[in-house]
Amino acid sequence: MKLALVGDIGGTNARFALWRDEQLESVRVLATADYPGPEQAIRAYLSELGLAPGAVGSVCLACAGPVDGDLFRFTNNHWRLSRSAFCRELQVRELLLINDFSAMALGMTRLRDDERLPVCPGTAEIERPCVVIGPGTGLGVGTLLALADGSWLALPGEGGHVDLPIGSPREAELWQQLYRQLGHVRAEDVLSGSGLLLLYRTVCALDGHEPRLSSPAEVTAAALAGDAVAVAVLEQFCCWLGRAAGNNVLSLGARGGVYIVGGVVPRFAELFLASGFTRCLRDKGRMSDYFEGIPVWLVTAEYPGLMGAGVALQQALGRS
């Protein structure tokens, strides 16, 4: 494949890299707020590397949101993209747009052993689906399937927008507090960076604490320092993530394994590994035994979405 460019564009950051010989080169992270659109961000990226538009023949962008048609509106930032205008402006021959969690799922196929931590032991059944789920700016959910020809299929979806699952009286009380603020309560409303702060404020309101933390980073830092309220918030966050992941496993028959990804959970990995995540993952009544033997990993790789975008481009151009 000729020199190509891959991007992983979320709500806050856009990650770009060159893709050559099935490897990432020259990774850069740009703030989406600093550019009016993806064309301007990519021009700045290429300029930094001394490359002009037209230097890359193919581009794959992993984008947050459903991908369809010529015009794409990014879900969690102000950017818009017209496929035809993009290709003209940057002199690109092939443009592949894929859902960001399709890219994340494909990135799991290139993980090294030191880029994931075991959460639940087990043996992946290679012919069965894998669930890829992770809180970041939003909550992403993807499905990964191994195909008979050795390639991979990533199924896009909008699983972060399903209803927040309720599995205990305490969670029902928290849900009622959330419902009074939001109306419909999505999983993403809690299981995301901003959702962590919302959950903290909701716990404080329910339990009569004066909220003193004002950002997700402060909640995480307070929990790591032993603050009892913040620890309880992270514990509930992990339990809800377990319930959401478990629902996906049952819906998909995902005995191929579960990958926990995204930028939020690795920041408190030790607390996560000691949390009620596994208990809530498997808390499915008569179907609880279904989870025996399904492996779960916490992914610590730095750029799995970019790697997955490269894999998608390889497969799309028939060079895998």
Please report, for the chain, how many H helices and E strands are present, in that order.
Answer: 11, 13
d(CA 38, CA 34): 10
253 annotated as a binding-site residue? no
7 annotated as a binding-site residue? yes
Q: 129 by DSSP, 3-state: which? A: coil
Q: What angle do CA 176, 177, 179 make, to 5 degrees?
A: 60
Helical ranges in 156-303 per DSSP H: 169-182, 187-190, 193-207, 216-224, 228-252, 269-273, 277-281
d(CA 81, CA 73): 7
Neighbour-count burial of 253, counting CB atoms closer than 10 A to its CB (0-12 exposed, 13-18 middle, 19+ buried): exposed
Which of 70-76's residues contact partners 24+ apart within 8 Å by CB, and which partners? 72/97, 74/9, 74/11, 74/32, 75/11, 75/138, 76/10, 76/11, 76/12, 76/137, 76/138
12 annotated as a binding-site residue? yes
9 annotated as a binding-site residue? yes
Token pair in block for residue 78: 């102000």
Q: For 142, list phi and psi in degrees, rounded to 5.
A: -135, 165
State the number of CA atoms in the 13 A half-sphere of 217 facing the CB: 0
Q: Element (H or E) spanning 312, and its range? A: helix 304-316
Q: 157 by DSSP, 3-state: which? A: coil
10 annotated as a binding-site residue? yes
100 annotated as a binding-site residue? no
Binding residues for ATP: 7-12
Binding residues: 7-12
